A and B are shown apart, each in its own frame.
Chain A
Amino acid sequence: MTFQPVDDAVEPRYDEPAYRSSTLRHPTRLYLLPEEWHDPAGPVFGESDVDPSESDLTRQHDGEPLGERIVVSGRALDSDGRPLPNTLVEVWQANAAGRYAHAVDRHPAPLDPNFTGAGRCVTDADGGYRFVTIKPGAYPWQNHPNAWRPAHIHFSLFGRAFADRLVTQMYFPGDPLFDADPIFQSVRDAAARELLVSRFDWETTEPEWALGFRFDIVLRSTPFE
Protein backbone atom coordinates (compact mmCIF):
# COMPACT_ATOMS: atom_id res chain seq x y z
CA MET A 1 0.00 0.00 0.00
CA THR A 2 1.27 3.47 -0.90
CA PHE A 3 -0.03 6.34 1.14
CA GLN A 4 -1.17 9.47 -0.66
CA PRO A 5 0.61 12.64 0.55
CA VAL A 6 -1.64 15.55 1.49
CA ASP A 7 -1.03 19.22 2.14
CA ASP A 8 -2.42 19.96 5.57
CA ALA A 9 -4.40 23.17 5.33
CA VAL A 10 -6.54 22.66 8.42
CA GLU A 11 -5.86 25.32 11.05
CA PRO A 12 -3.91 25.39 13.18
CA ARG A 13 -1.02 23.88 11.23
CA TYR A 14 1.47 21.60 12.93
CA ASP A 15 4.41 23.81 11.91
CA GLU A 16 3.98 27.13 13.69
CA PRO A 17 7.37 28.92 13.82
CA ALA A 18 6.13 31.48 16.38
CA TYR A 19 5.34 28.62 18.78
CA ARG A 20 8.81 27.42 19.66
CA SER A 21 7.82 24.02 21.02
CA SER A 22 6.44 23.03 17.61
CA THR A 23 9.85 23.29 15.92
CA LEU A 24 11.08 19.75 16.64
CA ARG A 25 7.67 18.24 17.18
CA HIS A 26 5.82 18.81 13.92
CA PRO A 27 5.67 16.13 11.23
CA THR A 28 6.98 17.22 7.83
CA ARG A 29 4.92 14.70 5.84
CA LEU A 30 1.25 13.83 6.19
CA TYR A 31 -0.84 11.28 4.34
CA LEU A 32 -4.46 10.80 3.45
CA LEU A 33 -6.05 8.16 5.68
CA PRO A 34 -6.82 5.07 3.56
CA GLU A 35 -10.59 4.88 3.17
CA GLU A 36 -10.80 1.36 4.61
CA TRP A 37 -9.14 2.57 7.83
CA HIS A 38 -12.05 4.83 8.77
CA ASP A 39 -13.64 3.58 11.98
CA PRO A 40 -17.04 5.14 12.72
CA ALA A 41 -16.92 3.90 16.31
CA GLY A 42 -15.30 5.27 19.42
CA PRO A 43 -15.42 4.93 23.18
CA VAL A 44 -18.92 5.17 24.67
CA PHE A 45 -19.46 7.02 27.92
CA GLY A 46 -22.30 7.22 30.38
CA GLU A 47 -23.23 9.01 33.58
CA SER A 48 -21.65 6.22 35.60
CA ASP A 49 -18.21 7.05 34.21
CA VAL A 50 -17.94 10.21 36.26
CA ASP A 51 -19.06 11.34 39.70
CA PRO A 52 -21.38 14.38 39.61
CA SER A 53 -19.03 16.16 42.03
CA GLU A 54 -16.27 16.13 39.40
CA SER A 55 -17.92 19.02 37.54
CA ASP A 56 -17.53 21.38 40.52
CA LEU A 57 -13.86 22.34 40.76
CA THR A 58 -14.54 24.55 43.77
CA ARG A 59 -15.58 21.64 46.03
CA GLN A 60 -12.74 19.15 45.72
CA HIS A 61 -10.97 20.13 48.96
CA ASP A 62 -11.80 21.08 52.54
CA GLY A 63 -12.04 24.79 51.80
CA GLU A 64 -13.03 26.95 48.87
CA PRO A 65 -10.43 28.08 46.36
CA LEU A 66 -9.51 31.74 46.07
CA GLY A 67 -10.56 33.63 42.99
CA GLU A 68 -13.55 34.67 40.98
CA ARG A 69 -16.16 31.89 40.99
CA ILE A 70 -17.58 31.22 37.51
CA VAL A 71 -20.03 28.86 35.81
CA VAL A 72 -18.83 27.59 32.42
CA SER A 73 -21.48 25.84 30.36
CA GLY A 74 -22.34 25.09 26.78
CA ARG A 75 -23.17 22.38 24.29
CA ALA A 76 -21.15 19.88 22.34
CA LEU A 77 -22.35 19.63 18.74
CA ASP A 78 -21.26 17.86 15.58
CA SER A 79 -20.53 19.83 12.41
CA ASP A 80 -24.12 19.30 11.26
CA GLY A 81 -25.33 21.03 14.41
CA ARG A 82 -26.61 17.86 16.07
CA PRO A 83 -26.08 17.56 19.82
CA LEU A 84 -23.42 15.13 21.07
CA PRO A 85 -24.92 13.40 24.13
CA ASN A 86 -22.98 11.08 26.45
CA THR A 87 -19.59 12.36 25.48
CA LEU A 88 -16.82 12.81 28.01
CA VAL A 89 -15.70 16.39 28.65
CA GLU A 90 -12.46 16.85 30.57
CA VAL A 91 -11.13 20.25 31.66
CA TRP A 92 -7.96 21.44 33.37
CA GLN A 93 -6.66 24.89 34.20
CA ALA A 94 -4.38 27.12 36.27
CA ASN A 95 -5.59 28.59 39.56
CA ALA A 96 -6.63 32.22 40.04
CA ALA A 97 -2.97 33.22 40.41
CA GLY A 98 -1.98 31.61 37.11
CA ARG A 99 -0.28 28.55 38.62
CA TYR A 100 -0.95 24.92 37.70
CA ALA A 101 -0.95 22.22 40.37
CA HIS A 102 1.79 20.43 38.41
CA ALA A 103 5.39 19.74 39.43
CA VAL A 104 6.76 21.13 36.16
CA ASP A 105 5.09 24.56 36.61
CA ARG A 106 7.77 26.87 38.06
CA HIS A 107 5.84 30.16 37.85
CA PRO A 108 6.47 31.88 41.21
CA ALA A 109 2.79 32.40 41.94
CA PRO A 110 1.08 30.71 44.88
CA LEU A 111 -0.48 27.28 44.71
CA ASP A 112 -3.97 27.10 46.18
CA PRO A 113 -4.37 24.12 48.55
CA ASN A 114 -8.09 24.18 47.78
CA PHE A 115 -7.76 24.01 44.01
CA THR A 116 -6.50 21.19 41.79
CA GLY A 117 -7.94 22.56 38.55
CA ALA A 118 -9.33 19.38 36.97
CA GLY A 119 -12.92 18.47 36.21
CA ARG A 120 -14.93 15.98 34.19
CA CYS A 121 -18.53 15.49 33.13
CA VAL A 122 -20.55 13.59 30.54
CA THR A 123 -22.82 15.63 28.26
CA ASP A 124 -26.60 15.36 28.72
CA ALA A 125 -29.17 14.35 26.08
CA ASP A 126 -28.94 17.82 24.54
CA GLY A 127 -25.13 17.80 24.40
CA GLY A 128 -25.03 20.14 27.39
CA TYR A 129 -22.27 20.38 29.98
CA ARG A 130 -21.71 22.63 33.01
CA PHE A 131 -18.71 23.26 35.25
CA VAL A 132 -18.35 25.42 38.35
CA THR A 133 -14.79 26.68 38.73
CA ILE A 134 -12.76 29.82 39.35
CA LYS A 135 -11.45 32.12 36.66
CA PRO A 136 -7.87 31.10 35.82
CA GLY A 137 -5.10 33.69 35.86
CA ALA A 138 -2.78 34.59 32.99
CA TYR A 139 0.76 33.23 33.35
CA PRO A 140 4.20 33.75 31.83
CA TRP A 141 5.92 31.15 29.69
CA GLN A 142 9.31 30.86 28.03
CA ASN A 143 8.32 31.06 24.37
CA HIS A 144 9.68 34.57 23.74
CA PRO A 145 10.66 37.62 25.84
CA ASN A 146 7.82 38.73 28.14
CA ALA A 147 5.53 35.98 26.86
CA TRP A 148 2.20 35.58 28.69
CA ARG A 149 -0.60 33.16 28.00
CA PRO A 150 -4.10 34.64 27.99
CA ALA A 151 -6.31 33.09 30.68
CA HIS A 152 -7.74 29.81 29.40
CA ILE A 153 -9.35 26.52 30.36
CA HIS A 154 -8.21 23.37 28.52
CA PHE A 155 -11.05 21.24 27.11
CA SER A 156 -10.91 17.65 25.85
CA LEU A 157 -13.89 16.00 24.13
CA PHE A 158 -14.58 12.71 22.41
CA GLY A 159 -17.59 12.72 20.06
CA ARG A 160 -19.03 9.75 18.18
CA ALA A 161 -15.91 8.37 16.49
CA PHE A 162 -12.40 8.26 17.93
CA ALA A 163 -11.37 10.33 14.89
CA ASP A 164 -13.68 13.18 15.98
CA ARG A 165 -11.65 13.81 19.08
CA LEU A 166 -10.85 17.42 19.99
CA VAL A 167 -8.54 19.04 22.53
CA THR A 168 -8.78 22.81 22.64
CA GLN A 169 -8.62 25.84 24.94
CA MET A 170 -11.44 28.17 25.98
CA TYR A 171 -10.53 31.84 26.39
CA PHE A 172 -12.32 34.77 28.01
CA PRO A 173 -13.78 37.73 26.10
CA GLY A 174 -11.66 40.81 25.47
CA ASP A 175 -8.35 39.45 26.75
CA PRO A 176 -5.56 42.00 26.00
CA LEU A 177 -3.06 39.15 25.56
CA PHE A 178 -4.74 37.65 22.47
CA ASP A 179 -2.71 39.62 19.91
CA ALA A 180 0.67 38.48 21.23
CA ASP A 181 -0.17 34.81 21.90
CA PRO A 182 1.22 32.47 19.20
CA ILE A 183 -1.02 29.60 20.33
CA PHE A 184 -4.25 31.61 19.99
CA GLN A 185 -2.90 33.22 16.79
CA SER A 186 -2.01 29.82 15.31
CA VAL A 187 -5.61 29.91 14.13
CA ARG A 188 -5.10 32.46 11.38
CA ASP A 189 -8.75 33.00 10.51
CA ALA A 190 -10.19 35.68 12.81
CA ALA A 191 -13.71 34.25 12.71
CA ALA A 192 -12.39 30.79 13.64
CA ARG A 193 -10.39 32.29 16.52
CA GLU A 194 -13.62 33.76 17.90
CA LEU A 195 -14.92 30.19 18.29
CA LEU A 196 -12.30 29.73 21.02
CA VAL A 197 -13.59 32.69 23.03
CA SER A 198 -16.38 32.13 25.54
CA ARG A 199 -19.02 34.82 25.93
CA PHE A 200 -20.22 36.36 29.14
CA ASP A 201 -23.81 35.28 29.72
CA TRP A 202 -26.41 36.84 32.02
CA GLU A 203 -28.68 33.81 31.70
CA THR A 204 -26.22 31.50 33.43
CA THR A 205 -24.89 34.18 35.79
CA GLU A 206 -26.18 33.31 39.24
CA PRO A 207 -27.18 36.23 41.51
CA GLU A 208 -24.95 36.66 44.58
CA TRP A 209 -22.92 33.64 43.44
CA ALA A 210 -21.04 33.40 40.12
CA LEU A 211 -20.56 34.91 36.66
CA GLY A 212 -21.67 32.75 33.73
CA PHE A 213 -19.66 32.08 30.58
CA ARG A 214 -20.97 30.12 27.58
CA PHE A 215 -18.75 28.02 25.35
CA ASP A 216 -20.22 25.79 22.65
CA ILE A 217 -17.91 23.26 21.03
CA VAL A 218 -18.30 21.88 17.50
CA LEU A 219 -16.54 18.62 16.67
CA ARG A 220 -15.80 17.30 13.22
CA SER A 221 -18.13 14.45 12.33
CA THR A 222 -16.81 11.37 10.70
CA PRO A 223 -18.48 11.07 7.27
CA PHE A 224 -18.48 7.27 7.40
CA GLU A 225 -21.27 6.70 9.94
Chain B
Amino acid sequence: MTTTPSQTVGPFFAIGLGDQPCAEGPLRLEGCVYDGAGAPVPDAVVEVWSQATGWGRSGTGADGRYAFRLCETPHLDVQVFARGLLKQLRTRVFLDGTAPDETLAAVRDGDTLRFDIHLQGERQTAFFAL
Protein backbone atom coordinates (compact mmCIF):
# COMPACT_ATOMS: atom_id res chain seq x y z
CA MET B 1 0.00 0.00 0.00
CA THR B 2 1.16 3.53 -0.65
CA THR B 3 2.19 5.18 2.58
CA THR B 4 0.40 8.33 3.66
CA PRO B 5 2.63 11.31 2.81
CA SER B 6 4.15 13.38 5.58
CA GLN B 7 3.19 17.01 6.23
CA THR B 8 4.86 19.57 8.46
CA VAL B 9 4.12 19.77 12.19
CA GLY B 10 3.66 23.52 11.64
CA PRO B 11 4.28 26.22 14.24
CA PHE B 12 1.56 25.19 16.71
CA PHE B 13 2.46 21.55 17.38
CA ALA B 14 2.95 22.20 21.10
CA ILE B 15 -0.84 22.05 21.49
CA GLY B 16 -0.79 18.37 20.59
CA LEU B 17 2.80 17.15 20.93
CA GLY B 18 3.57 17.65 24.58
CA ASP B 19 7.01 17.06 26.05
CA GLN B 20 7.68 13.50 27.14
CA PRO B 21 10.48 12.59 29.58
CA CYS B 22 12.78 9.62 28.94
CA ALA B 23 13.45 7.05 31.63
CA GLU B 24 15.04 9.14 34.41
CA GLY B 25 18.78 8.96 34.82
CA PRO B 26 21.78 10.98 35.96
CA LEU B 27 22.62 12.40 32.53
CA ARG B 28 21.30 15.47 30.79
CA LEU B 29 21.29 15.72 26.99
CA GLU B 30 20.79 19.25 25.75
CA GLY B 31 21.41 21.35 22.71
CA CYS B 32 20.18 23.93 20.28
CA VAL B 33 18.56 23.50 16.88
CA TYR B 34 19.96 25.97 14.30
CA ASP B 35 18.78 26.89 10.81
CA GLY B 36 20.99 27.47 7.77
CA ALA B 37 21.62 31.11 8.80
CA GLY B 38 22.81 30.00 12.24
CA ALA B 39 19.66 31.27 13.96
CA PRO B 40 18.05 29.19 16.73
CA VAL B 41 14.86 27.40 15.65
CA PRO B 42 12.16 28.16 18.25
CA ASP B 43 9.53 25.83 16.81
CA ALA B 44 11.27 22.48 16.46
CA VAL B 45 10.52 19.33 18.38
CA VAL B 46 13.24 16.76 19.06
CA GLU B 47 12.39 13.14 19.76
CA VAL B 48 14.86 10.51 20.95
CA TRP B 49 14.68 6.76 21.29
CA SER B 50 16.84 3.89 22.47
CA GLN B 51 15.90 0.61 24.07
CA ALA B 52 17.76 1.66 27.23
CA THR B 53 16.19 5.09 27.67
CA GLY B 54 12.81 4.64 26.03
CA TRP B 55 11.18 7.44 24.12
CA GLY B 56 11.39 11.15 24.85
CA ARG B 57 10.23 14.39 23.28
CA SER B 58 11.30 17.99 23.88
CA GLY B 59 10.03 21.04 22.04
CA THR B 60 12.53 23.88 21.60
CA GLY B 61 11.97 27.17 23.38
CA ALA B 62 12.43 30.71 22.07
CA ASP B 63 16.20 30.12 22.34
CA GLY B 64 16.04 27.01 20.15
CA ARG B 65 17.05 24.73 23.02
CA TYR B 66 15.80 21.27 23.94
CA ALA B 67 16.79 19.01 26.87
CA PHE B 68 16.28 15.48 28.21
CA ARG B 69 17.24 13.70 31.41
CA LEU B 70 18.70 10.31 30.53
CA CYS B 71 20.31 7.14 31.75
CA GLU B 72 23.52 5.85 30.18
CA THR B 73 23.19 4.55 26.64
CA PRO B 74 25.77 4.35 23.84
CA HIS B 75 23.60 6.23 21.39
CA LEU B 76 20.09 7.50 20.71
CA ASP B 77 18.07 7.60 17.52
CA VAL B 78 16.91 11.18 16.94
CA GLN B 79 14.07 12.64 14.89
CA VAL B 80 13.58 16.36 14.38
CA PHE B 81 10.29 17.96 13.37
CA ALA B 82 9.74 21.68 12.75
CA ARG B 83 7.80 24.30 10.91
CA GLY B 84 9.50 24.33 7.53
CA LEU B 85 10.25 20.60 7.58
CA LEU B 86 7.72 18.80 5.40
CA LYS B 87 8.92 15.52 6.88
CA GLN B 88 11.03 14.72 9.89
CA LEU B 89 14.80 14.50 9.89
CA ARG B 90 16.43 11.36 11.14
CA THR B 91 19.84 10.95 12.72
CA ARG B 92 21.70 9.30 15.62
CA VAL B 93 23.63 10.92 18.45
CA PHE B 94 26.53 9.08 20.09
CA LEU B 95 27.04 9.62 23.82
CA ASP B 96 29.95 7.20 24.28
CA GLY B 97 32.65 8.83 22.16
CA THR B 98 32.32 6.40 19.23
CA ALA B 99 30.60 8.74 16.76
CA PRO B 100 31.67 7.91 13.19
CA ASP B 101 31.10 11.54 12.20
CA GLU B 102 31.90 14.63 14.25
CA THR B 103 28.41 16.08 13.70
CA LEU B 104 26.92 13.09 15.54
CA ALA B 105 29.06 13.33 18.68
CA ALA B 106 27.59 14.65 21.91
CA VAL B 107 30.17 16.75 23.78
CA ARG B 108 30.48 15.51 27.35
CA ASP B 109 31.02 17.76 30.35
CA GLY B 110 30.48 15.71 33.50
CA ASP B 111 26.89 14.49 33.45
CA THR B 112 25.87 16.95 30.73
CA LEU B 113 26.02 16.03 27.07
CA ARG B 114 25.66 18.74 24.46
CA PHE B 115 24.35 17.95 20.99
CA ASP B 116 23.55 20.85 18.70
CA ILE B 117 21.56 20.14 15.57
CA HIS B 118 22.30 22.14 12.41
CA LEU B 119 19.52 21.75 9.85
CA GLN B 120 21.59 23.26 7.03
CA GLY B 121 24.93 24.89 6.23
CA GLU B 122 28.60 24.04 6.54
CA ARG B 123 28.08 22.46 9.93
CA GLN B 124 24.96 20.55 8.85
CA THR B 125 24.30 17.49 10.99
CA ALA B 126 24.51 14.18 9.11
CA PHE B 127 20.89 13.22 8.41
CA PHE B 128 19.71 9.92 6.99
CA ALA B 129 16.97 9.28 4.43
CA LEU B 130 13.73 7.99 5.94
**Which A residues lie at the B interface, using CB under 8 A?**
1, 3, 6, 8, 10-14, 16, 19, 21-33, 37, 39, 41-43, 77, 79-81, 90-92, 94, 100-102, 104-105, 116-120, 152, 154, 156, 162-163, 165-169, 183-184, 186-187, 191-193, 195-196, 217-220
Contact = CB atoms under 8 A, between A and B. Distances in A.
A220 B3 CA distance: 6
Contacts of B130: 10, 163, 220
A10 B129 contact: yes
B2 to A, nearest CB: 6
B119 A102 contact: no
15 contacts: A1-B100, A21-B83, A27-B89, A43-B54, A92-B16, A102-B14, A105-B12, A152-B7, A183-B7, A192-B2, A193-B5, A196-B7, A218-B1, A218-B2, A220-B130
A34 to B, nearest CB: 8
B17 A117 contact: no
Nearest to A31: B128
Contacts of A152: 7
B63 interface: no
B88 A165 contact: yes
Contacts of A41: 51
Given A6-B129, A162-B77, A14 B87 contact: yes
B15 to A, nearest CB: 4
B36 interface: yes
Given A8-B129, A104-B12, A162-B49, A24 B84 contact: yes
Closest 4 CB pairs of A and B: A92-B16, A21-B84, A25-B84, A1-B100
Interface of B: 1-17, 35-37, 39, 41, 43, 47, 49-51, 54-55, 77, 79, 81-90, 92, 100-101, 119-120, 124-130
Contacts of A27: 89, 119-120, 124-125, 127
B81 to A, nearest CB: 6
Contact of A92 (B1, B7, B17, B43): B17
A94 B129 CA distance: 31
A3 B86 contact: no
A16 B129 contact: no
Contacts of A169: 7-8
Contact of B85 (A8, A22, A104, A218): A22
A167 B3 contact: no
A37 B92 CA distance: 9
B15 A101 contact: yes
B5 A196 contact: yes
B126 A31 contact: yes
Contacts of A102: 11-12, 14-15
Contacts of A30: 127-129
Contact of A43 (B1, B55, B84): B55
A42 B39 CA distance: 32
Contacts of B49: 39, 42-43, 162
A79 B120 CA distance: 31
B128 A32 contact: yes
Contacts of B43: 104
Contacts of B15: 92, 100-102, 116-118
